[in-house]
Amino acid sequence: GCILEGKLYPFGEIPRTHNCLRCSCRQKEMFCCSLFHTPIGYDKENCKVVFNDQTCNYDVVQKSDPSKECVAYSRV
């Protein structure tokens, strides 16, 4: 298998690691890419970005009330 950040993964395709990556584990190498996109187009004065490790995504929420979402216009 492959070891990533101290955790052993089996050979083959790994749809989601513990830290929200999609990986391909081969005998001599491991390739990974992120499952999330970072918000860049949102109201930075009234909103903040919080990582949600359950969904492997960033939530954009109001600073004054984090239970309320803000609109994110673009992500990278």
Residues 45 and 19 placed together within one structural domain of the fold:
no
CATH of the domain at 69: 2.20.25.590
* Residue 25 clears pLDDT 90, i.e. is over it: yes
Regarding whether 6 and 25 lie in a shared domain, the answer is yes
Q: Which domain, by its residues, includes 45?
A: 39-75
- The reply to whether 23 and 48 lie within a common domain is no
Q: What is the pLDDT of residue 74?
A: 80
What pLDDT, in 10s, does the model give residues 26-65? Answer: 999 999 999 888 898 899 999 999 999 889 999 999 999 9
pLDDT at position 76 over 90:
no
CA–CA distance, 76 with 58 (Å, rounded to integer):
11
**pLDDT of res. 15:** 94
User: Can you tell me the distance from the alpha carbon of 37 to that of 57, in angstroms, rounded to the nearest whole number?
Assistant: 7
Claim to verify: residue 44 and residue 27 sit in the same structural domain: no
pLDDT of residue 49: 94
Whether residue 27 is found in the same domain as residue 50: no
**CA angle centred on 66, ends 62 and 68, rounded to 5°:** 70
The pLDDT value recorded for residue 24 is 96
